[in-house]
Structure 1
Amino acid sequence: MATAWSERVLELLLKLNNLQRAGCLPFCIQGQRVGWVTQPVAQVLAQDSDVFMLYKDSGARLEMSDRLRSTHERTRAVQEVMEALRGRDVFPCLQEWRDELYDVKGLFSDPPLLRMERAATPLLGVPRYGVHVNGFLRRGADVFMWIARRSLTKPSYPGKLDHLAAGGISAGSGVWETLLKECTEEACIPESLASTARAAGTVSYAYRQDDALYLECQFVFDLEVPESFQPRVGDGEVQEFYLWPLDKVKDSIATEDFKPNCALVILDFLLRHGHIQPDAEKFYTKFMENLHAPL
């Protein structure tokens, strides 16, 4: 049984870390690489507009035109290109349009070079950042975790199991700002409790679906809640909450019930808190390696 669990979890990890950069081109702004792009996407973007320039020499890359000097100019130009491609139904990922902008930058701490529609970010392979909150409580030696079930109306992974609170970091927002916002909106967690969450590092992974490249980094937080705490459905993105013993949560991440990246963040929690031991888990080092892919 344990071996089957380990193999299923490793399969999930490798599925979310299947990106091979060989054959992809760097996507650059002002000479700085900020993402990756497939050859077919680069061809379409370079042919359809004067916003992107495709270089095919020894320094092959896709670069934004130097005529776009400011973040505002780049944002407006790229938005127009992506809206046109969406209207022509060229790339499937654009049909998940959210009207939500994400920052594009070199390091997360850098000022943005561009802001672009969330659904379009995989076309340019730029890292996307989010926040995930492990909500848990202790009863003696036993640990329980609060689990959310996503609304059936969510555009992605409807009805799947999720964290107590989680969400992407929109343009102009910070990590703590996003954490407090998602805790309040999704689970009605008071700020006095949400602010006690402890930063626990990141989980990162990179995968490809057709010509879309997903490079994602989740800022992970552990929030220990009191026995009296009860989450409530807030903005409608969640339909229900469950309080599960950690063993049940562990078993469930090896199924298809969980949103895949949430399963990875919970695996990270299990490893960090010693619920998976290196002598007892055959894929321990594989788990660790694939939870922290370089982006």
Structure 2
Amino acid sequence: MKLQGYQRHIDRLNEWNRDNFKALYFDSHLVGYLKEPVWSYLSNRSELFTVNERGVSLNPQINSFELRTEILDEVVNGLVESSVMTHRHGERYPVTHADRDTALATIDRAAAAYFGLRAYGQHLNGYVRNGSELLLWIARRSADRRVFPDHLDNMVAGGLPHEISLADNLHKECQEEASVPSHIVAQAVPIGAITYRTETPVGLKPDTLYCYDLELPP
């Protein structure tokens, strides 16, 4: 199989200019990266954040999971009200310096890229056998979606919120997006993970996608 056609997508998903960002620290832990105008907005909240050449640091007195989450919600509300962000999503994503099990706080999903936080998702390929051929199910995203409207997609693809297991979230997404029965979802095979770090107009997306294959009945 020739992979040259994929390489341009791989390259595009790993392009970012470090000079466009300030690092975001919680208790000396690097948790994300901020682009203008987000870090300028935070510089006006000096009781909460310190902004200098090193980056942006949360006030160390805000030192619990609950307090950090409360402050982030307040900041996100302000970013939406000032039209820096367009909307809230409603799902909670972890704010972490390591992996999703070591979250220091949570934040609204829509804010993840604005804060350059690692976000997690699950993508599932559904396929059927037709003799010696494998036929892949291809979904088309709704035309009213905010992200990639009317584009082709995996059969199931969704975000991975805080405090839900991989297995439970996969079942939830399969039911919501494709009405796949639980006994069939249970046969999904984890095949690996894809990670990338890409710059967007609003921030940075350092994402991890857990990938699965699922053979479907003909």
TM-score (norm 2): 0.91
Q: Are the aligned partners of 1:46 and 1:52 in contact in 2 as well (CA < 8 Å)?
A: yes
Q: What letter is aligned with 2:151?
A: K
Identity score, percent:
28
Query: Matches of 1:216 and 1:109 in 2, distance apart?
Result: 12
- Name the SS for the 2:125 alignment partner: strand
Query: Matches of 1:88 and 1:199 in 2, distance apart?
Result: 42
Q: Does 2:27 match 1:30? A: yes
Q: Does 2:66 match 1:72? A: yes
1:190-241 CA distances to partner (integer Å, 9 max, x unpaired)?
Answer: 11110111111111121112341111110001111121xxxxxxxxxxxxxx
| Structure 1, 24-33 or 186-195: larger mean CA deviation | 24-33
Equivalent pairs counted in the alignment come to 218
Aligned partner of 1:194 among 185, 204, 212: 185
Aligned partner of 2:137 among 125, 143, 146: 146
Shift of 1:23: 5.0
TM-score (norm 1): 0.68
- Name the SS for the 1:19 alignment partner: coil
Aligned partner of 1:113 among 101, 104, 113: 104
Alignment of 1:186-265 (within 5 A): 186-227=177-218
Q: Are the aligned partners of 1:34 and 1:105 in contact in 2 as well (CA < 8 Å)?
A: yes
Partner of 2:147: 156
Query: Matches of 2:141 and 2:108 in 1, distance apart?
Result: 23
Query: Matches of 1:211 and 1:153 in 2, distance apart?
Result: 20
The answer for unaligned runs of 5 or more in structure 2 is: none
Partner of 1:95: 86
Query: Matches of 1:37 and 1:24 in 2, distance apart?
Result: 5
Partner of 1:266: none
Aligned partner of 1:41 among 25, 38, 43: 38
Shift of 1:95: 0.7
The answer for unaligned runs of 5 or more in structure 1 is: 228-295
- Name the SS for the 2:63 alignment partner: coil
Query: Matches of 1:165 and 1:226 in 2, distance apart?
Result: 16
1:73-107 CA distances to partner (integer Å, 9 max, x unpaired)?
Answer: 11111111121121111x2xx21421222111122
Q: Are the aligned partners of 2:100 and 2:162 in contact in 1 as well (CA < 8 Å)?
A: no
Shift of 1:155: 2.1
Say if 1:188 and 1:39 are closer, same or farther in 2 by CA, change over 3 A: closer
Query: Matches of 1:131 and 1:113 in 2, distance apart?
Result: 22
Q: Which structure carries more strand by proportion? A: 2
Q: Are the aligned partners of 2:27 and 2:60 in contact in 1 as well (CA < 8 Å)?
A: yes
Q: Which structure carries more helix by proportion? A: 1
Aligned-residue CA RMSD (Å): 2.1
Q: What letter is aligned with 1:86?
A: V
Q: Does 2:57 match 1:63? A: yes
Q: Are the aligned partners of 1:135 and 1:164 in contact in 2 as well (CA < 8 Å)?
A: yes
1:37-75 CA distances to partner (integer Å, 9 max, x unpaired)?
Answer: 23653232122352222233xxx1211111212111111
Q: Are the aligned partners of 1:151 and 1:158 in contact in 2 as well (CA < 8 Å)?
A: yes
